[in-house]
Amino acid sequence: MPAVARSGSYSARARLVAVFVALAFVLGGGGTPNPLTELLLQIAFVGIAVVWVWLPKPGDGLRDRVALVLVAIPLIIPLVQLIPLPPSIWSTLPDRGNEVAALSLIGEQSSWRPISLSPSRTVAALLAIVPAVFCFYAVARLDLKERRLVLLTILVMTLVSAWMGAVQLTSRGSGFNFYPQHSAGWVTGFQANRNATADVLLIGILALAAVAVPYLTDDRKRLPLGLSRRAFAIMAGGVGLFLVLATVMTGSRAGVTLLLVAGVGAALIFVVSRDVETGTLSRKALLLLAAAVLLGGAAAFAALSQNTAIERVAERFSDLGNERGEVWEDSWFALKQYWPVGFGLGGFEPAMLPAERLEYLDPLAPNRAHNDYLEIGIEAGILGYAMVIAAAMAVLAVAARAWRERRMRGQIVFGLTVLLLIAFHSVVDYPLRSMAVACLSGVAGGLLVRTRVSSHRSKEFKRAKQARGLA
Protein backbone atom coordinates (compact mmCIF):
# COMPACT_ATOMS: atom_id res chain seq x y z
CA MET A 1 0.00 0.00 0.00
CA PRO A 2 1.05 3.66 -0.28
CA ALA A 3 4.14 4.52 1.64
CA VAL A 4 3.95 7.25 4.21
CA ALA A 5 5.38 10.48 2.95
CA ARG A 6 8.45 12.01 4.51
CA SER A 7 7.85 12.90 8.13
CA GLY A 8 8.53 16.53 7.37
CA SER A 9 5.55 16.67 4.99
CA TYR A 10 3.08 16.35 7.87
CA SER A 11 2.63 18.63 10.85
CA ALA A 12 3.50 17.43 14.34
CA ARG A 13 -0.21 17.55 15.18
CA ALA A 14 -1.09 15.24 12.28
CA ARG A 15 1.51 12.70 13.39
CA LEU A 16 0.24 13.00 16.96
CA VAL A 17 -3.31 12.16 15.86
CA ALA A 18 -2.02 9.21 13.83
CA VAL A 19 -0.14 7.88 16.87
CA PHE A 20 -3.23 8.19 19.07
CA VAL A 21 -5.41 6.39 16.51
CA ALA A 22 -2.88 3.54 16.46
CA LEU A 23 -2.92 3.41 20.27
CA ALA A 24 -6.72 3.34 20.23
CA PHE A 25 -6.56 0.24 18.02
CA VAL A 26 -4.19 -1.53 20.40
CA LEU A 27 -5.57 -0.44 23.79
CA GLY A 28 -9.20 0.46 23.16
CA GLY A 29 -10.70 -2.95 22.45
CA GLY A 30 -11.05 -4.49 25.89
CA GLY A 31 -14.47 -3.12 26.80
CA THR A 32 -15.94 -3.00 30.29
CA PRO A 33 -14.63 -6.43 31.38
CA ASN A 34 -11.03 -5.31 30.69
CA PRO A 35 -10.62 -1.85 32.20
CA LEU A 36 -6.80 -1.87 32.42
CA THR A 37 -6.15 -1.30 28.72
CA GLU A 38 -8.82 1.41 28.60
CA LEU A 39 -7.10 3.09 31.55
CA LEU A 40 -3.78 2.95 29.70
CA LEU A 41 -5.42 4.53 26.65
CA GLN A 42 -6.89 7.31 28.78
CA ILE A 43 -3.48 7.97 30.35
CA ALA A 44 -1.95 8.08 26.87
CA PHE A 45 -4.69 10.48 25.81
CA VAL A 46 -3.79 12.87 28.65
CA GLY A 47 -0.16 12.93 27.52
CA ILE A 48 -1.06 13.43 23.86
CA ALA A 49 -3.61 16.14 24.72
CA VAL A 50 -0.96 18.02 26.71
CA VAL A 51 1.46 17.86 23.77
CA TRP A 52 -1.35 18.89 21.39
CA VAL A 53 -2.08 22.02 23.43
CA TRP A 54 1.64 22.80 23.75
CA LEU A 55 2.32 22.60 20.00
CA PRO A 56 2.01 25.78 17.89
CA LYS A 57 -1.57 26.38 16.77
CA PRO A 58 -1.82 26.65 12.96
CA GLY A 59 -4.71 28.70 11.57
CA ASP A 60 -7.62 30.13 13.51
CA GLY A 61 -8.84 26.90 15.07
CA LEU A 62 -12.16 25.16 14.55
CA ARG A 63 -14.56 27.94 13.60
CA ASP A 64 -17.44 25.84 12.28
CA ARG A 65 -20.13 26.38 14.91
CA VAL A 66 -22.05 23.25 13.99
CA ALA A 67 -18.83 21.22 14.40
CA LEU A 68 -18.35 22.79 17.83
CA VAL A 69 -21.89 21.66 18.69
CA LEU A 70 -20.84 18.11 17.74
CA VAL A 71 -17.91 18.42 20.12
CA ALA A 72 -20.26 19.41 22.94
CA ILE A 73 -23.13 16.94 22.36
CA PRO A 74 -21.43 13.78 23.73
CA LEU A 75 -20.31 15.65 26.85
CA ILE A 76 -23.67 17.22 27.66
CA ILE A 77 -25.37 14.07 28.96
CA PRO A 78 -22.84 13.01 31.64
CA LEU A 79 -22.21 16.60 32.73
CA VAL A 80 -25.93 17.29 33.18
CA GLN A 81 -26.40 14.01 35.02
CA LEU A 82 -23.64 14.91 37.49
CA ILE A 83 -25.06 18.29 38.53
CA PRO A 84 -26.20 18.13 42.20
CA LEU A 85 -29.92 18.84 42.60
CA PRO A 86 -31.87 19.89 45.70
CA PRO A 87 -33.87 17.15 47.48
CA SER A 88 -37.13 18.71 46.35
CA ILE A 89 -36.17 17.79 42.78
CA TRP A 90 -34.10 14.60 42.88
CA SER A 91 -36.43 12.83 45.34
CA THR A 92 -39.30 13.14 42.85
CA LEU A 93 -37.38 11.50 40.01
CA PRO A 94 -38.42 7.97 38.92
CA ASP A 95 -37.48 5.03 41.17
CA ARG A 96 -36.00 7.18 43.95
CA GLY A 97 -38.16 5.81 46.80
CA ASN A 98 -35.58 3.26 47.93
CA GLU A 99 -32.80 5.85 47.82
CA VAL A 100 -34.81 8.29 49.92
CA ALA A 101 -35.60 5.56 52.46
CA ALA A 102 -31.95 4.46 52.67
CA LEU A 103 -30.66 8.00 53.09
CA SER A 104 -33.27 8.67 55.78
CA LEU A 105 -31.64 6.00 57.94
CA ILE A 106 -28.44 8.05 58.11
CA GLY A 107 -30.05 11.48 58.08
CA GLU A 108 -28.93 12.36 54.53
CA GLN A 109 -32.34 12.56 52.89
CA SER A 110 -32.00 16.35 52.58
CA SER A 111 -28.63 16.24 50.81
CA TRP A 112 -28.21 17.36 47.21
CA ARG A 113 -27.96 14.50 44.72
CA PRO A 114 -27.36 14.27 40.94
CA ILE A 115 -29.65 12.66 38.38
CA SER A 116 -27.24 9.74 38.04
CA LEU A 117 -27.92 6.95 40.52
CA SER A 118 -24.30 5.87 40.12
CA PRO A 119 -22.15 9.01 39.79
CA SER A 120 -18.89 7.05 39.77
CA ARG A 121 -20.02 5.06 36.73
CA THR A 122 -21.13 8.24 35.01
CA VAL A 123 -17.74 9.86 35.63
CA ALA A 124 -16.09 6.74 34.18
CA ALA A 125 -18.35 6.99 31.13
CA LEU A 126 -17.41 10.65 30.71
CA LEU A 127 -13.70 9.80 30.82
CA ALA A 128 -14.28 7.12 28.17
CA ILE A 129 -16.06 9.59 25.88
CA VAL A 130 -13.40 12.32 25.96
CA PRO A 131 -10.78 10.49 23.79
CA ALA A 132 -13.34 9.99 21.01
CA VAL A 133 -14.30 13.67 21.21
CA PHE A 134 -10.60 14.54 20.94
CA CYS A 135 -10.32 12.43 17.79
CA PHE A 136 -13.20 14.36 16.25
CA TYR A 137 -11.80 17.76 17.16
CA ALA A 138 -8.22 16.93 16.22
CA VAL A 139 -9.07 15.46 12.80
CA ALA A 140 -11.37 18.41 12.07
CA ARG A 141 -8.37 20.71 12.60
CA LEU A 142 -6.19 18.87 10.05
CA ASP A 143 -5.93 19.75 6.39
CA LEU A 144 -6.89 17.39 3.60
CA LYS A 145 -3.44 15.87 3.13
CA GLU A 146 -2.96 15.31 6.86
CA ARG A 147 -6.32 13.58 7.08
CA ARG A 148 -5.05 11.10 4.50
CA LEU A 149 -2.28 10.20 6.94
CA VAL A 150 -4.92 9.33 9.54
CA LEU A 151 -6.77 7.20 6.98
CA LEU A 152 -3.51 5.42 6.12
CA THR A 153 -2.95 4.76 9.82
CA ILE A 154 -6.42 3.21 10.07
CA LEU A 155 -5.71 0.99 7.07
CA VAL A 156 -2.32 -0.16 8.38
CA MET A 157 -3.68 -0.94 11.85
CA THR A 158 -6.65 -2.77 10.35
CA LEU A 159 -4.28 -4.95 8.34
CA VAL A 160 -2.24 -5.66 11.46
CA SER A 161 -5.48 -6.64 13.24
CA ALA A 162 -6.45 -8.94 10.39
CA TRP A 163 -3.04 -10.63 10.34
CA MET A 164 -3.28 -11.11 14.09
CA GLY A 165 -6.65 -12.71 13.48
CA ALA A 166 -5.07 -15.13 11.02
CA VAL A 167 -2.55 -16.13 13.70
CA GLN A 168 -5.38 -16.51 16.22
CA LEU A 169 -7.19 -18.89 13.87
CA THR A 170 -4.14 -20.99 13.06
CA SER A 171 -3.18 -21.23 16.73
CA ARG A 172 -6.71 -22.43 17.59
CA GLY A 173 -7.25 -19.63 20.07
CA SER A 174 -4.04 -20.21 22.03
CA GLY A 175 -1.97 -17.30 20.74
CA PHE A 176 -2.12 -13.54 20.32
CA ASN A 177 -5.22 -13.09 22.44
CA PHE A 178 -4.98 -9.83 24.35
CA TYR A 179 -7.82 -10.44 26.77
CA PRO A 180 -8.90 -13.35 28.99
CA GLN A 181 -12.46 -12.86 27.76
CA HIS A 182 -12.40 -13.22 23.98
CA SER A 183 -14.24 -15.02 21.20
CA ALA A 184 -12.04 -18.10 20.94
CA GLY A 185 -11.82 -19.68 17.50
CA TRP A 186 -12.68 -16.47 15.66
CA VAL A 187 -10.79 -13.47 14.32
CA THR A 188 -10.66 -10.85 17.08
CA GLY A 189 -7.41 -8.95 16.46
CA PHE A 190 -6.91 -6.28 19.11
CA GLN A 191 -10.55 -6.49 20.24
CA ALA A 192 -12.06 -8.68 22.93
CA ASN A 193 -15.40 -8.70 21.11
CA ARG A 194 -15.63 -10.18 17.61
CA ASN A 195 -18.47 -7.80 16.74
CA ALA A 196 -16.18 -4.84 17.46
CA THR A 197 -13.50 -6.54 15.34
CA ALA A 198 -15.97 -6.74 12.47
CA ASP A 199 -16.64 -3.00 12.80
CA VAL A 200 -12.91 -2.26 12.72
CA LEU A 201 -12.42 -4.40 9.61
CA LEU A 202 -15.38 -2.81 7.82
CA ILE A 203 -13.93 0.61 8.56
CA GLY A 204 -10.59 -0.64 7.25
CA ILE A 205 -12.21 -1.63 3.94
CA LEU A 206 -13.49 1.93 3.57
CA ALA A 207 -10.07 3.31 4.52
CA LEU A 208 -8.51 1.15 1.79
CA ALA A 209 -10.79 2.76 -0.80
CA ALA A 210 -10.06 6.27 0.51
CA VAL A 211 -6.28 5.67 0.51
CA ALA A 212 -6.23 4.04 -2.93
CA VAL A 213 -8.34 6.69 -4.70
CA PRO A 214 -5.56 9.28 -5.25
CA TYR A 215 -3.36 6.62 -6.84
CA LEU A 216 -6.11 5.43 -9.20
CA THR A 217 -7.41 8.86 -10.20
CA ASP A 218 -4.24 10.90 -10.73
CA ASP A 219 -2.07 9.70 -13.61
CA ARG A 220 0.69 12.05 -12.48
CA LYS A 221 0.86 10.66 -8.96
CA ARG A 222 3.88 8.49 -8.31
CA LEU A 223 2.91 5.02 -7.20
CA PRO A 224 4.59 3.41 -4.18
CA LEU A 225 7.31 0.77 -4.58
CA GLY A 226 7.59 1.65 -8.27
CA LEU A 227 4.41 -0.29 -9.05
CA SER A 228 2.50 0.11 -12.27
CA ARG A 229 -1.07 1.31 -11.98
CA ARG A 230 -2.28 -2.16 -12.99
CA ALA A 231 -0.19 -3.85 -10.31
CA PHE A 232 -1.36 -1.35 -7.72
CA ALA A 233 -5.01 -1.96 -8.60
CA ILE A 234 -4.53 -5.72 -8.33
CA MET A 235 -2.73 -5.34 -5.01
CA ALA A 236 -5.47 -3.08 -3.64
CA GLY A 237 -8.07 -5.63 -4.74
CA GLY A 238 -6.17 -8.40 -2.98
CA VAL A 239 -5.93 -6.39 0.24
CA GLY A 240 -9.66 -5.67 0.05
CA LEU A 241 -10.44 -9.34 -0.38
CA PHE A 242 -8.24 -10.21 2.59
CA LEU A 243 -10.17 -7.76 4.77
CA VAL A 244 -13.50 -9.12 3.53
CA LEU A 245 -12.47 -12.69 4.42
CA ALA A 246 -11.20 -11.54 7.81
CA THR A 247 -14.58 -9.91 8.45
CA VAL A 248 -16.37 -13.14 7.59
CA MET A 249 -14.06 -15.07 9.92
CA THR A 250 -15.00 -12.91 12.89
CA GLY A 251 -18.22 -14.90 12.93
CA SER A 252 -20.14 -11.68 13.48
CA ARG A 253 -23.51 -12.01 11.77
CA ALA A 254 -24.04 -8.26 11.77
CA GLY A 255 -20.51 -7.71 10.45
CA VAL A 256 -21.03 -10.10 7.54
CA THR A 257 -24.39 -8.50 6.73
CA LEU A 258 -22.92 -4.99 6.85
CA LEU A 259 -20.26 -5.95 4.29
CA LEU A 260 -22.84 -4.88 1.72
CA VAL A 261 -23.00 -1.37 3.22
CA ALA A 262 -19.20 -1.15 3.35
CA GLY A 263 -18.95 -2.33 -0.25
CA VAL A 264 -21.43 0.29 -1.44
CA GLY A 265 -19.57 2.95 0.54
CA ALA A 266 -16.23 1.91 -0.95
CA ALA A 267 -17.69 2.05 -4.47
CA LEU A 268 -19.15 5.50 -3.80
CA ILE A 269 -15.75 6.75 -2.68
CA PHE A 270 -14.43 5.92 -6.14
CA VAL A 271 -17.48 7.38 -7.90
CA VAL A 272 -17.37 10.76 -6.13
CA SER A 273 -13.65 11.04 -6.83
CA ARG A 274 -14.40 11.56 -10.50
CA ASP A 275 -13.05 14.91 -11.76
CA VAL A 276 -11.16 15.57 -8.55
CA GLU A 277 -7.49 14.98 -9.30
CA THR A 278 -7.11 14.89 -13.09
CA GLY A 279 -10.76 14.96 -14.08
CA THR A 280 -11.22 11.29 -14.94
CA LEU A 281 -11.31 8.09 -12.99
CA SER A 282 -9.07 5.41 -14.46
CA ARG A 283 -11.61 2.96 -15.83
CA LYS A 284 -8.92 0.40 -16.60
CA ALA A 285 -7.68 0.57 -13.01
CA LEU A 286 -11.21 0.22 -11.67
CA LEU A 287 -11.92 -2.76 -13.90
CA LEU A 288 -8.71 -4.40 -12.77
CA LEU A 289 -9.62 -3.68 -9.14
CA ALA A 290 -13.08 -5.19 -9.57
CA ALA A 291 -11.67 -8.20 -11.42
CA ALA A 292 -9.11 -8.80 -8.67
CA VAL A 293 -11.83 -8.79 -6.01
CA LEU A 294 -14.26 -10.98 -8.00
CA LEU A 295 -11.68 -13.53 -9.17
CA GLY A 296 -10.00 -13.60 -5.78
CA GLY A 297 -13.37 -14.03 -4.11
CA ALA A 298 -14.28 -16.91 -6.39
CA ALA A 299 -10.93 -18.60 -5.75
CA ALA A 300 -11.22 -18.11 -2.02
CA PHE A 301 -14.76 -19.49 -2.00
CA ALA A 302 -13.65 -22.54 -3.94
CA ALA A 303 -10.72 -23.11 -1.59
CA LEU A 304 -12.69 -22.54 1.60
CA SER A 305 -16.04 -24.05 0.71
CA GLN A 306 -15.16 -27.22 2.61
CA ASN A 307 -13.44 -25.36 5.45
CA THR A 308 -14.98 -26.08 8.84
CA ALA A 309 -14.46 -22.47 9.89
CA ILE A 310 -16.64 -21.25 7.00
CA GLU A 311 -19.24 -23.85 7.93
CA ARG A 312 -19.24 -22.49 11.49
CA VAL A 313 -19.96 -19.00 10.17
CA ALA A 314 -22.90 -20.34 8.15
CA GLU A 315 -24.18 -22.20 11.20
CA ARG A 316 -24.33 -18.95 13.15
CA PHE A 317 -26.83 -17.61 10.61
CA SER A 318 -28.94 -20.77 10.82
CA ASP A 319 -29.10 -20.51 14.61
CA LEU A 320 -30.24 -16.96 15.27
CA GLY A 321 -31.95 -17.85 18.55
CA ASN A 322 -34.02 -15.46 20.62
CA GLU A 323 -31.58 -14.47 23.38
CA ARG A 324 -31.39 -10.86 22.28
CA GLY A 325 -35.18 -10.64 22.12
CA GLU A 326 -35.41 -11.64 25.78
CA VAL A 327 -32.73 -9.11 26.76
CA TRP A 328 -34.54 -6.42 24.80
CA GLU A 329 -37.79 -7.16 26.59
CA ASP A 330 -36.15 -6.82 30.00
CA SER A 331 -34.31 -3.71 28.81
CA TRP A 332 -37.58 -2.12 27.70
CA PHE A 333 -39.01 -2.78 31.15
CA ALA A 334 -35.94 -1.15 32.76
CA LEU A 335 -36.21 1.83 30.41
CA LYS A 336 -39.76 2.49 31.55
CA GLN A 337 -38.74 2.37 35.22
CA TYR A 338 -36.26 5.25 34.84
CA TRP A 339 -38.03 7.26 32.15
CA PRO A 340 -37.73 10.15 31.35
CA VAL A 341 -34.39 11.04 33.02
CA GLY A 342 -32.59 7.70 32.92
CA PHE A 343 -30.48 5.86 35.47
CA GLY A 344 -27.23 7.61 34.60
CA LEU A 345 -24.64 7.07 31.90
CA GLY A 346 -22.63 3.90 32.49
CA GLY A 347 -25.27 2.49 34.83
CA PHE A 348 -26.87 -0.16 32.61
CA GLU A 349 -25.80 -3.11 34.76
CA PRO A 350 -27.28 -1.95 38.09
CA ALA A 351 -30.34 -0.64 36.26
CA MET A 352 -30.87 -3.98 34.54
CA LEU A 353 -30.37 -6.34 37.48
CA PRO A 354 -33.82 -5.80 39.07
CA ALA A 355 -35.47 -5.88 35.63
CA GLU A 356 -34.37 -9.42 34.70
CA ARG A 357 -37.12 -12.03 34.65
CA LEU A 358 -36.31 -15.15 36.65
CA GLU A 359 -37.16 -17.49 33.79
CA TYR A 360 -34.52 -15.81 31.61
CA LEU A 361 -31.99 -14.99 34.30
CA ASP A 362 -28.42 -14.99 33.02
CA PRO A 363 -25.86 -16.49 35.45
CA LEU A 364 -23.57 -13.59 34.51
CA ALA A 365 -24.37 -9.96 35.21
CA PRO A 366 -26.15 -8.34 32.23
CA ASN A 367 -23.52 -5.89 31.00
CA ARG A 368 -25.19 -4.71 27.78
CA ALA A 369 -28.64 -4.46 26.17
CA HIS A 370 -27.34 -5.54 22.72
CA ASN A 371 -29.23 -2.54 21.37
CA ASP A 372 -27.55 0.80 21.97
CA TYR A 373 -30.76 2.72 21.37
CA LEU A 374 -32.45 0.88 24.23
CA GLU A 375 -29.37 1.31 26.39
CA ILE A 376 -29.28 5.05 25.72
CA GLY A 377 -32.88 5.29 26.86
CA ILE A 378 -32.13 3.39 30.07
CA GLU A 379 -29.05 5.43 30.92
CA ALA A 380 -29.93 8.88 29.56
CA GLY A 381 -33.67 8.95 29.02
CA ILE A 382 -35.24 11.60 26.84
CA LEU A 383 -32.09 13.75 26.93
CA GLY A 384 -30.14 10.88 25.38
CA TYR A 385 -32.55 10.56 22.48
CA ALA A 386 -32.58 14.33 21.99
CA MET A 387 -28.78 14.33 21.77
CA VAL A 388 -28.79 11.45 19.25
CA ILE A 389 -31.21 13.37 17.02
CA ALA A 390 -29.23 16.59 17.43
CA ALA A 391 -25.98 14.79 16.58
CA ALA A 392 -27.50 13.24 13.43
CA MET A 393 -28.76 16.64 12.25
CA ALA A 394 -25.40 18.29 12.98
CA VAL A 395 -23.52 15.54 11.11
CA LEU A 396 -25.69 16.04 8.02
CA ALA A 397 -25.25 19.81 8.28
CA VAL A 398 -21.44 19.76 8.41
CA ALA A 399 -21.29 17.12 5.66
CA ALA A 400 -23.57 19.18 3.38
CA ARG A 401 -21.40 22.25 3.90
CA ALA A 402 -18.18 20.34 3.21
CA TRP A 403 -19.63 18.66 0.10
CA ARG A 404 -19.09 21.91 -1.83
CA GLU A 405 -15.34 21.21 -1.70
CA ARG A 406 -14.93 18.55 -4.39
CA ARG A 407 -11.60 17.29 -3.04
CA MET A 408 -13.26 16.34 0.23
CA ARG A 409 -16.01 14.17 -1.19
CA GLY A 410 -14.18 10.85 -0.91
CA GLN A 411 -13.45 11.49 2.75
CA ILE A 412 -17.02 12.67 3.34
CA VAL A 413 -18.39 9.41 1.94
CA PHE A 414 -15.93 7.53 4.15
CA GLY A 415 -17.08 9.40 7.26
CA LEU A 416 -20.80 9.08 6.54
CA THR A 417 -20.52 5.37 5.72
CA VAL A 418 -18.60 4.66 8.94
CA LEU A 419 -21.25 6.45 11.00
CA LEU A 420 -24.00 4.64 9.09
CA LEU A 421 -22.34 1.25 9.77
CA ILE A 422 -22.19 2.03 13.48
CA ALA A 423 -25.80 3.25 13.50
CA PHE A 424 -27.01 0.03 11.84
CA HIS A 425 -24.90 -2.21 14.05
CA SER A 426 -26.17 -0.42 17.17
CA VAL A 427 -29.61 -1.93 16.54
CA VAL A 428 -28.32 -5.37 17.54
CA ASP A 429 -25.13 -4.59 19.47
CA TYR A 430 -23.11 -1.87 21.18
CA PRO A 431 -20.21 -0.84 18.88
CA LEU A 432 -19.58 2.55 20.53
CA ARG A 433 -18.94 0.87 23.89
CA SER A 434 -15.55 -0.15 22.45
CA MET A 435 -13.21 2.80 22.88
CA ALA A 436 -11.41 1.77 19.69
CA VAL A 437 -14.60 1.95 17.61
CA ALA A 438 -15.68 5.13 19.44
CA CYS A 439 -12.38 6.82 18.52
CA LEU A 440 -12.78 5.69 14.90
CA SER A 441 -16.27 7.19 14.87
CA GLY A 442 -14.72 10.41 16.15
CA VAL A 443 -12.26 10.34 13.24
CA ALA A 444 -15.14 9.72 10.83
CA GLY A 445 -17.02 12.71 12.19
CA GLY A 446 -13.93 14.92 12.00
CA LEU A 447 -13.48 14.07 8.31
CA LEU A 448 -16.89 15.62 7.60
CA VAL A 449 -15.85 19.08 8.78
CA ARG A 450 -14.89 21.40 5.96
CA THR A 451 -11.20 22.17 5.65
CA ARG A 452 -9.50 24.66 3.42
CA VAL A 453 -7.17 23.32 0.75
CA SER A 454 -3.77 25.03 0.89
CA SER A 455 -3.19 27.80 -1.63
CA HIS A 456 -0.48 25.71 -3.30
CA ARG A 457 -2.85 22.79 -3.85
CA SER A 458 -5.64 25.12 -5.04
CA LYS A 459 -3.36 26.67 -7.68
CA GLU A 460 -2.21 23.23 -8.75
CA PHE A 461 -5.82 22.13 -9.19
CA LYS A 462 -6.65 25.24 -11.25
CA ARG A 463 -3.63 24.66 -13.50
CA ALA A 464 -4.74 21.06 -14.10
CA LYS A 465 -8.23 22.23 -15.08
CA GLN A 466 -6.83 24.91 -17.40
CA ALA A 467 -4.58 22.34 -19.07
CA ARG A 468 -7.69 20.28 -19.85
CA GLY A 469 -9.61 23.33 -21.07
CA LEU A 470 -12.15 23.13 -18.23
CA ALA A 471 -11.41 26.48 -16.57
Q: Give 10-residue mean pLDDT values along the chain (471 residues).
A: 50 92 91 82 93 73 77 93 92 85 84 92 93 94 91 94 84 68 74 90 94 75 70 82 88 88 90 60 55 56 51 58 78 91 91 78 73 94 94 93 89 96 93 93 94 50 48 38
Q: What is the pLDDT of residue 157?
A: 95
* Three-state secondary structure call for residue 312: helix
pTM of the full predicted structure?
Answer: 0.86
Q: What is the pLDDT of residue 312?
A: 60
Please provide residue 85's backbone torsions phi and psi, each rounded to the nearest 5 degrees.
-120, 150
- % helix, strand, coil for the chain, step of 5: 70, 0, 30
DSSP per residue, 381-437: HHHHHHHHHHHHHHHHHHHHHHTTSGGGHHHHHHHHHHHHHHHHHTTTS-GGGSHHH
Backbone φ/ψ region at 342: left (φ over 0), alpha (ψ -120 to 50), beta: left
CA 322 to chain centre: 27
Give the domain ranges of the chain. Answer: 9-97+109-467
Residues 338, 344: Cα–Cα separation, whole Å: 9
Nearest to 446 by CA among 416, 426, 422, 425: 416
Q: What is the pLDDT of residue 424?
A: 95
Residues 265, 444: Cα–Cα separation, whole Å: 13
Under a CB-based contact definition with an 8 Å cutoff, are residues 154 and 443 in contact? yes
Q: What is the pLDDT of residue 343?
A: 94
Q: What is the pLDDT of residue 150?
A: 95
Q: What is the pLDDT of residue 2?
A: 41
Nearest to 240 by CA among 281, 219, 214, 211: 211
* Three-state secondary structure call for residue 362: coil
Angle at 60 between CA 56 and CA 66, to 5 degrees: 125
Q: Which residues contact 102 (CB under 8 A, 6 or more apart)?
A: none
Q: How far is CA 76 from CA 71, 80, 83, 224, 393, in A?
A: 10, 6, 11, 45, 16
Long-range contacts of 104-110 (CB under 8 A, 24+ apart): none
Q: What is the pLDDT of residue 67?
A: 84
Q: What is the pLDDT of residue 134?
A: 94
